[in-house]
Amino acid sequence: MTNKPYESMSEFQMALRTFSRNRVALFCVLVLFLLYMGAIFADFLSPYRYDNEDRRYSYCPPTQIHFFDDGAPSWPFVYGIDLEYNEYHKRIYTEDRSKKYPVKLLMKGDEYRLLGFIPIKTHLWGVEAPGRVYLIGADSRGRDLWSRILYGSRVSLSIGLIGVFISFTIGLLVGGISGYYGGRVDNILMRIAEMVMMVPGFYLLLALRAAVPPDFNSVQVYFAIIIILSFIGWAGLARIIRGMCLSLREREFVMAAKSIGLSDFKIIVRHILPHTLSYSIFAVMLSIPGYILGESALSLIGLGIQDPFASWGNMLSDAMSIVKIKFYPWILVPGFFIFITVISFNVVGDALRDALDPMLKSEGQG
């Protein structure tokens, strides 16, 4: 070796380069970033709290924000909302042109705690009290759908992350232990994993949910759902990690790690599992959508997050009737958010797999 430093690109740098060439994936990363930012600052970005309701405005259509006042450009404003009933007693909302409410930035409104600590009343935007603004419409109780989507994203997006974290911790440990020891330990752990995998996911979800007391409050339900989803999710990963560990444990560095006196647990965690990292990273990305959909499915059929708390799933439960979708199509918007979140995670996961898996890459190009 010469005196000149020999520095090659690390595997991580190479992966990053491949990944950053994928424009679609970068765009999806941006989308996810915005969604998570929206979740973190939900109370600041939304004009109303998730439970701020006004039943006069049940299923009020999106409020039009006007930029022109009698043809002249103006600061954006909304008109008041007038409610009439037609001959079929259907609600008809019209603009009350006599009342004008300018859109205010940094407006004082419902009190909340910014980032969970700082009590504050300032919202990014909104209109003064008698006026109401529904950016994408209202739900059955006259709550702002846009605000509820932002609040709901907190539940829907965090369940994916926490659920994946728990189930991957279990999956990696079980797979690592199973693959490293082999023999009877392997047999028992893998049969347990297969028993979990044997039951179709959704029915297992329902069965486990039925085992949880029905009088849980929302926070308890939230954690119950996470635990249930993690319980279902670990098995598949454990099987794959086990397979990788079976081959990794024969490598000489495992013998070397043993020869310096490390305990079995340290050998598994510090010397074997890091070799499964590139697989784990994209497997995490690709399995997050499953958790988001799992939560949505439970909430949709009323077994998950309960009203008045919002999650994308329980907001969609309103949209299970075709009549409602026909007359109030905006109640489907939470579904659109689920859709772009799931798509984004899948695209990013796929791109990560391309970037991290050199075997796949050479096959793809060759």
Partner 1 sequence: MKNLLKIRDLTVCVEHQDNKKIVNQVTFDVKDAGIVGLVGGSGSGKTTTGYAILGLLDPALSVTSGQIEYKGQDLLKASDSEIRKVRGGEIGMIFQEPLNAFNPVFSIGYQIDEMLQYHTDLGKNQREARILELLDLVGLPDPKRLIKNYPHQLSGGMRQRAMIAQAIAPNPDLIIADEPTSNLDVTHQARIIELFQKIRTELKLSILLITHDLGMVGHLCDEVAVMCKGNIVEFGTAEEIVSDPQHQYTKDLMGALKL
Options 141, 275, 324, 361; binder of partner 1; rule CB under 8 A: 275
Find the binder of partner 1 among 164, 271, 318, 345 (CB under 8 A).
271
Contacts 24+ apart (CB under 8 A), 94-98: 95/64
With b for 16 or more beta-carbon neighbours within 10 A and e for fewer, the 192-223 pattern comes to: ebeebbeeebeebbeebbeebeeeeeeeebbe
257 forms part of the interface with partner 1 (CB under 8 A): yes
Return the ∠ at Cα 220 (arms to 214 and 221), rounded to 5°: 55
CB atoms within 10 A of CB 111: 11
CA trace torsion 308, 309, 310, 311 (10° rounding): -130
Please report whether residue 261 would count as binding partner 1 according to CB under 8 A: yes
Check residue 260 for interaction with partner 1 (CB under 8 A).
yes
CA dihedral defined by 338, 342, 347, 348, rounded to 10 degrees?
100
| Minimum distance of partner 1 from residue 7's CB (angstroms) | 8
By CB under 8 A, residue 5 contacts partner 1: yes
Choice from 270, 302, 339, 343 touching partner 1 (CB under 8 A): 270
> Using the rule CB under 8 A, which residue among 68, 165, 253, 339 binds partner 1?
253
Among 1, 72, 118, 210, binds partner 1 (CB under 8 A): 1
Q: Rounded to an integer, what distance in angstroms lies between the CA atom of residue 202 and that of residue 224?
A: 15
Interface pattern 53-82 for partner 1 (x via CB under 8 A): ------------------------------
252 contributes a contact to partner 1 by CB under 8 A: yes
Which residues 152-191 are close enough to bind partner 1 by CB under 8 A? 183
Cβ nearer to partner 1, comparing 7 with 215: 7
- Rounded to whole angstroms, how far apart are CA atoms 12 and 163? 26
Task: Identify whether the C-beta of residue 355 lies closer than 8 Å to the C-beta of residue 278.
Answer: no
| Binding positions for partner 1, 6-25, rule CB under 8 A | 6, 8
Residue 63, helix vs strand vs coil: coil
- 117: contact with partner 1 by CB under 8 A: no
Residue 244 in the binding site for partner 1 (CB under 8 A): no
Task: Between 60 and 355, name the residue whose CB sits nearer to partner 1.
Answer: 355
Three-point CA angle 315, 158, 224, nearest 5°: 80
Is residue 256 a contact point for partner 1 (CB under 8 A)?
yes
Report whether 298 contacts 313 (CB < 8 A).
yes
Under the binding rule (CB under 8 A), the answer on residue 362 touching partner 1 is no
Q: Tell me which residues touch partner 1 (CB under 8 A).
A: 1, 3, 5-6, 8, 183, 251-253, 255-263, 270-271, 274-275, 277
